[in-house]
Amino acid sequence: MPDPRDDQLAGELRDLGQWLVTPAPPDLRTAVRERLSAGSPRRTSRRWLAAAAAVLLALVIAVVPQTRTAVAHAATALLRFAGIELESAPRSGSLPATPSPLPSTQFATLDEARRQARFSIGVPARLGPPESIQLADHDATGAPRVVSLLYRGGTVRLDEFDGELEPYFAKKIDTAGVVWADVHGHPAVWIPTPHPITYIDRHGVRHDEAARLAGATLIWQGAITYRLEGQLTADDALAIARSTG
């Protein structure tokens, strides 16, 4: 039950607002524009800062609609999110006709994957056990850098990696329709349109020759980074994401 004296106090505070000194606001248009045109972030957190680039797998390319023109949009923007670099830029050139898969890809069982990976592998309860699993880009000790869970004949894939460390994938996207979402309190980003994606290997080398067109994708971050791709609606993708543990 609110105390009427508190209501009165609230009224006094509202009135007080008019009695406080607030200097005249500056005209920031020129300063802001100059900084945006220069494109140099003054301060960014480590996660957003990581450098660029990389490749991804070709498994799904056949089933992804080849609407490449949908991806071409102006305005250069860059966002680094959970080890994935998102770039909004006009596309130049074409994608390779036969992109090569991720470096040193091999199939594995879930148990093998769990033994070899340096991070804990999440399986979405909503999709159940994966039909197959791929491990890619192994280090000297044999630990894979990316673990991919494949479903529905490979048309739905869930890539998992420790995106806190460095960028793994670069995407060029059409920002129209891109939406922030939330998975268990962590930010997620939904990219509804097909977009080229490139893998950045553990040496930071960008594998443009392996660039391919990815379908609708949800990226989110839990203990590790998840990248779910396939012919899914945003709601389906979010439900799958929220069931991953």
Contacts with another protein by CB under 8 A lie at 2-3, 5-6, 9-10, 12-23, 25-29, 31-33, 35-37, 41-42, 73-77, 79, 88, 175-176, 178-180, 189
**Least distance in Å: CB of 81 to another protein?**
9
| Distance spanning both ends of the chain, measured CA to CA | 42
Q: Which helix (H) or strand (E) element contains residue 12? A: helix 4-16
CB closer to another protein out of 36 and 62: 36
CB closer to another protein out of 10 and 125: 10
CB closer to another protein out of 90 and 204: 90
Q: Which two tokens stand for residue 230?
A: 């396939």
* Distance of alpha carbon 55 from alpha carbon 101, whole angstroms: 8
* Distance of alpha carbon 1 from alpha carbon 18, whole angstroms: 29
Whether residue 25 contacts residue 180, with contact meaning beta carbons closer than 8 Å, is answered with no
**Least distance in Å: CB of 12 to another protein?**
6
Q: What is the CA radius of gyration of the chain?
A: 22
The half-sphere exposure of 71 on its side-chain side, counting CA atoms within 13 A, is 25
CB closer to another protein out of 88 and 148: 88
CB closer to another protein out of 12 and 111: 12
CB closer to another protein out of 21 and 62: 21
**Least distance in Å: CB of 53 to another protein?**
19
**Least distance in Å: CB of 26 to another protein?**
5
**Least distance in Å: CB of 175 to another protein?**
5
Q: Which two tokens stand for residue 129?
A: 């056990």
Q: What is the DSSP letter of 214?
A: E
* Distance of alpha carbon 168 from alpha carbon 28, whole angstroms: 36
Residues 6+ apart with CB under 8 A from 184: 222, 242
**Least distance in Å: CB of 210 to another protein?**
26
Whether residue 211 contacts residue 198, with contact meaning beta carbons closer than 8 Å, is answered with yes
